[in-house]
Amino acid sequence: MNHAFPCGTLPLDFVGTLRARRNAVPMEKLASPELLDAWFVESEMLDTAPGADEADLEVALELRESIYALIAARLTGEQFPAAAVDVVNRQAAGLAVQLQLGPDGTSRTGSASQGLASLAREAVEILGGDEEALLRECSRPECTQVYLDRSRGHRREWCAMRTCGNRVKAAAYRARQHVSKS
């Protein structure tokens, strides 16, 4: 598996394909059309790879960064950047992934542009709906993953407990142990 899905919300997991955004050299998880194809299949958005090309990848990266710009604006209480709104709305206007019921259950088919349209639509629903108040960014300094805090009390701090939460708690424990030995 090439990709991680800690949020359970596809547009936010898609934003997370650029890891450690604030580092001097962030980690790009969509470095090729093949990795974009893998993301669509691993996320279970599509049953088979859509056959993305370089143009699809360029559009995907533009959409990802536009969604992140909108989320960052929402988190800081700023106005949405007009260019990012335009990109997301343009993509959301496209055809969505085809969902069909068959004898073996559901199937999801479509092109890369249909997958991106579906992601953009879901991002619009989050950013323009009640869930936008639940948007958070992971508290681990090296992580820039965004997520929806659906926890009771809305006090969740990490994108995922099994990764970032455990790292932060283990580091705090080690620091306490080091101080007590001094």
What's the pLDDT band for 140 if we cut at 50, 70, 90? Answer: confident
Question: Across residues 157-173, what is the average pLDDT?
Answer: 65
- Residue 159 within a domain: no
User: Global pTM?
Assistant: 0.86
- As for how many domains the chain has, the answer is 1
Supply the pLDDT for residue 169.
Answer: 65
In the chain, the amino acid numbered 133 is A
Quick one: what percent of the chain has pLDDT higher than 90? 62
Whether residue 46 is contained in a domain is answered as yes
Over residues 93-117, the pLDDT tens digits come to: 999 999 999 998 999 999 999 999 9
pLDDT of 29 reads 95
| Pair of tokens at residue 170 | 């283990």
Identify each DSSP E strand in 83-156 by its residue range: 98-102, 105-109, 135-137, 146-148
| pLDDT value at residue 166 | 65
pLDDT at res. 28: 95
Whether residue 3 lies inside any domain: the answer is no
Residue 134 has pLDDT above 90, yes or no: no
Kindly state whether residue 173 falls inside one of the protein's structural domains: no
Stretch 72-77: mean pLDDT: 94
Q: What is the domain-level CATH number for residue 116?
A: 1.10.3300.10
pLDDT of residue 167: 66
Please report whether residue 76 resides in a domain. Answer: yes
Residue 139 belongs to a domain: no
Give residue 170's pLDDT.
65
User: Which domain does 112 fall in, by range?
Assistant: 10-133
- pLDDT given for residue 178 in this prediction: 66
Q: Which residues does 127 contact at the CB level (< 8 Å), separation at least 6?
A: 70, 71, 74, 80, 88
Residue 37 lies in a domain: yes
CB 7 within 8 A of CB 16: yes
